Structure 1
Amino acid sequence: MITATITTSARSKEAQLNSSPKNILLVHGAWHGAWCWDELTPHLERHGWRVFTVDLPSTWSDPEVGMYDDAEVVGEALGAIDGPVTVLGHSYGGVPMSEAAETAPNVERLIYLAAQMLEVGEALVTPLGGPWFPADWRMVPVPDQITDAAYFDVPTELAAATTARLRPQSARAFTDAQTRASWQKLPSALIACDDDRNIPEVFIKRAIDDEMPTLVRRLPGGHSPFLARPAELADVIDEVAAAL
């Protein structure tokens, strides 16, 4: 069994002393790790959030690990948080979030940040008509153009440091089918990025047209606002959570 590694910052630990801390679990996207939230965390803490993160095992270079394993880790992390919690998933992170969230009684709301919202029975590749990578690949390498696709509006040094930390992603993460769609049962918001060059438009258009999220907010810029404009993103997350 894969065990969740859940982390919280020192400031977030101090927030536990508050009478009613706001808990948020951040679920990273493909090829990334919990480290990707480092720029965003202090801005959320200024809004009074107690911030938790997880490392999804599908980025541990093990081809046998897929979306269901990621969802198990998210579920374990939710079970370790004392009190109500908001869950935010970025990009692929929205998929294991959807799989796990409704099984945790303390989840109050979901926030999909430039993330895929799937129906039960769909895998991430389903709306695309199938995998964009060869069928025999067991690990999907970091895309060659990911800097231009995901970090074009991120400060140059930070974009380079981020790219250097990315790791291959298990292909199973993209092909495991959703058995639960938690956005159907929990208040859910979609934060879409106006110049997102990374996530196919089909996901955002379908979610909005089919009224999947309870609330839709838009941000300027690209796919990674947690790096490009973390203070603004924290403001929007706090506003969206209150609205839901």
Structure 2
Amino acid sequence: MATYVLIPGGGADPWYWHLLVDELRDRGHDVVAVDLPSDDDSAGLAEYADAAVEAVGDRENLIVVAHSLGGFTGTLLCDRVKVDLLVMLQAMVPKPGESPGEWWAATGYEQARREQDERDARAPDDDRTLFYFDTPPELIAEAAKHPRGQSATPMMKPWPLATWPDVPTRFLLARDDRFFPAEFLRRVVQDRLGIVPDEMPGDHMPMLSHPKTLADRLEKYRLDLTEHP
């Protein structure tokens, strides 16, 4: 049995993981959906990492799944506790000395998003298409009941690690995401991690749009790690 530790993206609470939680628990695993203090202006990356460490407690056999902005917290957790595998899910890939706020310009995100918006002919205020391109409508409606602010505080200070944590790492890319376009993320992952990302269908919230497929991918990673440690 593994313990899956799910790290949310910006302004997200544990609800967003509930379908994946059910999938993984049905397969016999422990699951921790971390609740980060994203709407607390006194909390930065250090406090986010503290919250993740506290949520894990004394659990073992950890597989950390970090989504979007959660890539900054997930990597810090890997530096604090023993982790068997880190899965970056449509995640921001930190670089030493760079803050989350600097990440956007450093990676060329704005141009990539502008080009994606032009391809999609997306209206600037159409957040539904931006984040929930293929999420079922009933889940989009439910998501609206879970508003969570995202403080700018964790965007201010640099990612504090000197190197990437010494943990086996996989990157899983949702190829239909309009917020982090696939072509953009392929480049960032290759440049910063030196690996080719794996790909699955899904928008920016694949835990809602394709929870079973996501669980299948995570389980394959776990089995691959067991067979080829």
TM tier relative to shorter chain = 0.7 to 0.9
Question: Is 1:185 the counterpart of 2:166 in the alignment?
Answer: yes
- Aligned ranges for residues 158-177 of structure 1 at < 5 Å? 158-177=139-158
Gapped regions of structure 2 (runs ≥ 5): 110-123
Structure 2 counterpart SS, 1:120: coil
Q: Who is 2:91 aligned against?
A: 115
Which of residues 174, 181, 189 in structure 2 aligns to 1:207? Answer: 189
AA partner of residue 84 (structure 2): E
Q: Distance in 1 between matches of 2:136 and 2:144?
A: 12
- Cα deviation, 1:78-128, whole Å, max 9, x if unaligned, reads 3x1322211111111111111221221x31110110001111111123232
RMSD of the TM alignment (CA)?
2.3
Aligned equivalents of 1:48, 1:170: Cα separation in 2: 35
Match of 1:127 in 2: 103
Q: Give yes or no for the alignment of 1:27 onto 2:3.
A: no
> CA 1:125/1:173 → structure 2, altered by over 3 Å: closer, same or farther?
same
Q: Which runs of 5+ in 1 are unaligned?
A: 1-20, 133-142
Structure 2 residue 58 is the aligned partner of structure 1 residue 81: yes
Number of residue pairs the alignment of both structures matches = 208
Q: Do the aligned partners of residues 81 and 24 (structure 1) sit closer, same or farther apart at CA in structure 2, a change above 3 Å counting?
A: farther
Quick check: 1:87–1:109 contact (8 Å CA) kept in 2? yes
Q: For each residue in 1:147-190, what CA deviation from the matched residue of structure 2 results, as whole angstroms up to 9, or x when unmatched? A: 22111211111112113312210011223310127744110010
Aligned residue number for residue 217 of structure 1 = 198
- Equivalent of 2:137 in 140, 156, 159: 156
Aligned: 1:243 with 2:219: no
Tell me the TM-score normalised to structure 1 length: 0.77
Higher strand share: 1
- Bigger share in helix: 2
Q: Relative to structure 1, is the Cα distance of residues 212 and 48 closer, same or farther in structure 2, using a 3 angstrom cutoff? A: farther
The one-letter code matched in structure 1 to 2:55 is: A
Aligned to 1:58: 38
Q: Distance in 1 between matches of 2:169 and 2:96?
A: 16
